[in-house]
Structure 1
Amino acid sequence: MMKKYPANSPEAMARLLVMLMMSDGNFDPREIDSLETLHIYEALGISRTRFIEVLHAYCNDLSDEADEQGRIQLVDRQRIEDLLDTVTEPKKQLLLATLSLDMAKADRSISDPELAVYSHMLERWHLTLDDIEAAYAR
């Protein structure tokens, strides 16, 4: 059972980024550094310390879901949908979709699981890459 955060809260949004970062099973500590560079904490309205607390809580929730052999399903459709449903405000969805893309591009590679989760996010929220470009074109 996932920890509950208020809908549309900075923690709920941070947890979605954490889910995306961890979807390929390769969590790179440099990804945390990229959050700083990309000003993601400010965009979410969360401190680095609080973001890391959300990260730890997510890891604990995942380990609680392990099967008898200790296997964890990192990309679980129901979990992903439940987490996506915690962000309902269209502006926050658009912001998260943009931040997710920036974050994914930061390490110059998007794994298949990351791409699958990201594509599902866009589909679930009825967003397109054109929407993101139009909203945040610089």
Structure 2
Amino acid sequence: MRNYPTDSPKAMSRLLALAMIADGRLAPQELKTLHRSGVLEVLGVSEDTFDDAAGELTQDLLTHSTNHAAGMVEIEPATIDALLDEVQDPALRALVLKGMLEIVRADQMIDHRERRLLRRALAAWGDGTEPFPAAA
């Protein structure tokens, strides 16, 4: 995976894009929710920057992820942690996490892979509380 400067628009955009594709598909509602939420504007991220970061994420995932044989793209936990570590400012972290939450909730279902991503973000950035109980 490529590295972005700490707290950069591309670092934040990549995490939002990752929330969109964590479940293995991009639901149209997720993209609509991102734009309606205004999180890009609040973060100072242009749509072009978001689009660039999303495209670069896709390229990097195809190059650096595991489990291609099963027709899936998986990201190692250490890689997710490294991506999360590129956002250090607590206020930016809160805004990115809010955007990620809105994105994964957009299709009315939080997939186990989305839940895993959000849990890693909370472990890295949050207070350790459990807002996403395991599915029954």
TM-score normalised by L of structure 1: 0.81
CA–CA distance in 2 between the matches of 1:95 and 1:66? 27
What residue in structure 1 maps to residue 88 of structure 2? 88
Which AA in structure 2 matches 1:126? G
Shift of 1:79: 1.1
CA–CA distance in 1 between the matches of 2:129 and 2:110? 15
Which AA in structure 1 matches 2:8? S
Q: Are the counterparts in 2 of residues 17 and 100 from structure 1 also a CA contact under 8 Å?
A: yes
Q: Are the counterparts in 2 of residues 66 and 72 from structure 1 also a CA contact under 8 Å?
A: no
What residue in structure 2 maps to residue 135 of structure 1? none
Equivalent residue runs for 1:68-107 within 5 Å: 69=69, 71-107=71-107
- 5+ residue gaps in structure 2? 131-136
Shift of 1:70: 7.8
Equivalent residue runs for 1:56-135 within 5 Å: 56-65=55-64, 69=69, 71-127=71-127
Q: Are the counterparts in 2 of residues 7 and 86 from structure 1 also a CA contact under 8 Å?
A: yes
Q: Are the counterparts in 2 of residues 40 and 99 from structure 1 also a CA contact under 8 Å?
A: yes
CA–CA distance in 2 between the matches of 1:107 and 1:78? 27
TM-score normalised by L of structure 2: 0.83
Which AA in structure 2 matches 1:59? T
CA distance change for structure 1 residues 66 and 125 in 2, over 3 Å: closer, same or farther? closer
**SS in structure 2 of the partner of residue 51 of structure 1:** helix
CA–CA distance in 2 between the matches of 1:83 and 1:91? 17
CA–CA distance in 2 between the matches of 1:8 and 1:22? 21
Identity %: 29
CA–CA distance in 1 between the matches of 2:17 and 2:91? 19
Which AA in structure 1 matches 2:103? M
Q: Are the counterparts in 2 of residues 7 and 87 from structure 1 also a CA contact under 8 Å?
A: yes
Aligned-residue RMSD, C-alpha: 2.2
What residue in structure 2 maps to residue 47 of structure 1? 46
What residue in structure 1 maps to residue 36 of structure 2? 37
**SS in structure 2 of the partner of residue 96 of structure 1:** helix
Shift of 1:94: 1.4
Which AA in structure 2 matches 1:38? S
Which AA in structure 1 matches 2:81? E
